[in-house]
Amino acid sequence: MRILVIGSGGREHALVWKLRQNPEHAVFVAPGNGGTAGVAQNVPIAVDAITELVDFARREKMDLAVPGPELPLTLGIADAMKRAGIPCFGPDAYCARLEGSKRFAKEIMAEAGVPTAACAAFTDIAAAKDHVRKQGAPLVIKADGLAAGKGVVVARSLAEALAALDEMMEKKVHGAAANTVLIEECLQGEEVSFLCLCDGKDVLPLPSAQDHKAVFDGDSGPNTGGMGAYSPAPLLPDHHLERMADLVVRPVAAVMAGRGHPFVGVLYAGLMMTADGPKVLEYNVRFGDPECQPLLMRLESDLAQLMLACVEGRISRAELVYRRSTALGVVLCARGYPGAYPKGMEISGLEELGNDGAVKDAGVVVFHSGTVQKAGKIFSSGGRVLCVAALGDGLAAAQRNAYAGLEKIRMADGFYRRDIGAKGITFLQSE
């Protein structure tokens, strides 16, 4: 197959790395990064240049398009590819609103009967502030639209909640994304990422994963795109996956199909495991980054065949085989992230890790996020730079292997969390 992956992050490196394990696939990636350049052909087209991406896919006779991030999906890339006759593994723009509008997601959850936090939506700042004062802290304030993962404030005090409303609704720090603001009940518990492959009718759950959103150890500091992840998450073992799909994914797939927009692609439920049971924090309409990296390290089946089965409506007959071992990835960032950070640092030590695409147990794979390749060398170009991932026989072994790999890599002004996996290990010890 000829496959076009769209995106430039660690998730996309993992996607092309996995797709390329079948040597029969020719893989292109737009625009890609310094890591994807080594396993696929980078094509200099931006993720939001929908017309150019479709033209390229048509001209180069792609058999499958795989958008990685949410932006092209909300801009309608799946609709445009479909019009051009190119199979696309991703939802149409209508379904992508599940991620693109938190208010829309709440409406669908209410219709589907999915458990989620109580919530009210506001377009008027005075009404929003009244509501906040009546409810009292803690509360969660969310911009309705896409805000690069920065549109959520978990306000521990009334002052923080009011300040967040000022930032979003008056200063417009997220622009039009916060024209509508949601004020949500603050849930307590551990978070789990639950991703399913969807073909419009049927849903096939993937193993669970756990992200680490806060920038510093012990889940302190501001939220990021994700500082590390592992799969499986002990909080959501394999024998609960089908039940979880029945609770939070199949009802949503049924509502979307009923509205004439069957959901095709990955539907990712961000869950909070509360004392009252699991509740959905958000939906994403794509693989998570960095969850995708450990998830795909564990996957043994041919990913392109699974994606095609989704596009062709036959995922119920597809076989999903994954390794029993645990995979864990740690993200190396540039100092300052998620705020301002330096770029252009040279990264060395990568060659020692023998990144040949083969995965052996205890093997380490380095997935690139914000990197560029120049004259055979790799330089940083983003806040999240690399995700060093490893397999292991259990969470503690995967953690040891990933950190051992990370120690071989050198980059000035880099930092990473030292405790990826620690909470899961504590949970396992408490069982």
Closest CA to 80 of 105, 49, 104, 101: 49
Which residue type sits at 250? R
Q: Would you call 158 helix, strand, or coil by DSSP?
A: helix
Q: Report the interhelical angle of 250-258 vs 241-248 (nearest 10°).
A: 40
- Our CA angle for 428, 226, 319, nearest 5°, is 65
Distance CA 161, CA 133 (A): 9
Candidate residues 152, 204, 267, 303; the one interacting with ligand AMP per rule CB under 6 A: 152
* Nearest distance from C-beta of residue 203 to ligand AMP, angstroms: 20
The DSSP output letter for 299 is: B
Q: Which does 184 bind (CB under 5 to 8 A by kind): ligand GLY, ligand AMP, none?
A: ligand AMP
**Is the Cβ of residue 210 or residue 401 nearer to ligand GLY in the bound state?**
210
Interacting positions 166-185 with ligand AMP (CB under 6 A): 184-185
Distance CA 187, CA 164 (A): 18
Candidate residues 155, 168, 187, 203; the one interacting with ligand AMP per rule CB under 6 A: 187
> Which residue carries 């001209």 as its tokens?
59
Q: Which does 226 bind (CB under 5 to 8 A by kind): ligand GLY, ligand AMP, none?
A: ligand GLY
Interacting positions 256-315 with ligand AMP (CB under 6 A): 270, 281-282
- Determine the size of the site formed for ligand GLY (CB under 6 A): 7
Candidate residues 70, 191, 202, 302; the one interacting with ligand AMP per rule CB under 6 A: 191
* Nearest distance from C-beta of residue 355 to ligand AMP, angstroms: 30
Q: Which does 179 bind (CB under 5 to 8 A by kind): ligand GLY, ligand AMP, none?
A: none
Interacting positions 195-224 with ligand AMP (CB under 6 A): 213, 223
> Which residue carries 């795909």 as its tokens?
296
Is residue 117 part of the contact set for ligand AMP (CB under 6 A)?
Answer: yes
Candidate residues 163, 186, 273, 425; the one interacting with ligand AMP per rule CB under 6 A: 186
Q: Which does 291 bind (CB under 5 to 8 A by kind): ligand GLY, ligand AMP, none?
A: ligand GLY
Helix residue ranges per DSSP H, 60-205: 70-74, 77-83, 93-100, 102-112, 125-135, 158-165
Distance CA 155, CA 292 (A): 29
276-305 footprint of ligand GLY as x/- string (CB under 6 A): --------x---xx-x--------------
Distance CA 143, CA 303 (A): 34
Query: Which tokens hold the place of 428?
Result: 């396992």
Positions in the binding site for ligand GLY (CB under 6 A): 211, 225-226, 284, 288-289, 291
